[in-house]
């Protein structure tokens, strides 16, 4: 009883002392923040935004500029910038995430588009993020990404 009263007073004192720095009423004394960490090597995880996308033969064909995710945060589609010269004539096309193959690596990571050029030509443009997005799906089995 007595102990708990003392501890109550101490914690109240701590609270008032901490108040100017911690306006949101945290009662914890100042401890260095800790965080759960896991390290991913470049071959295990790679950045995608702004990366070039290549055809299977290695020819650069597009640039990945946005990722569409589902309500669980899983990637559904990638928005790719196709074509253009000096920024003129670019077509934005959303392709299903499974049409891309990712090859992470040390400095040489690649994103490979497995769709055929004709499938890209036929695709409608992705224009407005507020409207239903037309997403190009993998059609023929040979263009499906290799099952890992």
Q: Quick one: which segment of 26-34, 38-46, 116-124, 135-143 binds other proteins (CB under 8 A)?
A: 116-124
CA atoms within 13 A on the CB side of 110: 14
Report how far apart, in Å, the C-alpha atoms of 104 and of each of 25, 40, 41, 50, 94 are. Answer: 44, 11, 9, 15, 22
Instruction: Quote the CA–CA distance of 32 and 143 in Å, as a whole number.
Output: 51
* Shortest Å, Cβ 73 to other proteins: 16
CB of 125 to other proteins, least distance (A): 7
Instruction: Judge residue 89's burial from the number of C-beta atoms within 10 Å of its C-beta, 0-12 exposed, 13-18 middle, 19 or more buried.
Output: exposed
Cβ atoms 33, 40 nearer than 8 A: no
Specify the stretch interacting with other proteins by CB under 8 A; choose among 23-31, 36-44, 118-126, 132-140.
118-126
Q: Is there binding between residue 135 and other proteins (CB under 8 A)? A: no
Between 18 and 66, CB nearer to other proteins? 66
Q: State the minimum distance, in angstroms, from the CB of residue 59 to other proteins.
A: 8
| Pattern 49-78, other proteins, x by CB under 8 A | xx----------xxx-xx------------
């Amino acid at each position: 009883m007595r102990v708990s009263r003392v501890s109550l007073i101490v914690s109240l004192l701590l609270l008032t002392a901490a108040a100017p720095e911690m306006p949101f009423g945290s009662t914890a004394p100042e401890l260095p923040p800790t965080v759960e960490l896991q390290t991913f090597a470049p071959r295990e995880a790679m950045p995608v935004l702004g990366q070039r996308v290549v055809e299977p033969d290695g020819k650069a064909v597009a640039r990945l500029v946005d990722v569409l995710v589902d309500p669980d945060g899983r990637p559904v589609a990638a928005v790719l910038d196709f074509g253009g010269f000096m920024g003129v004539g670019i077509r934005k096309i959303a392709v299903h995430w499974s049409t891309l193959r990712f090859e992470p690596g040390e400095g040489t990571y690649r994103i490979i588009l497995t769709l055929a050029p004709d499938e890209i030509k036929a695709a409608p443009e992705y224009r407005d993020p507020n409207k239903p997005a037309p997403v190009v799906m993998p059609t023929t089995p040979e263009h499906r990404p290799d099952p890992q």
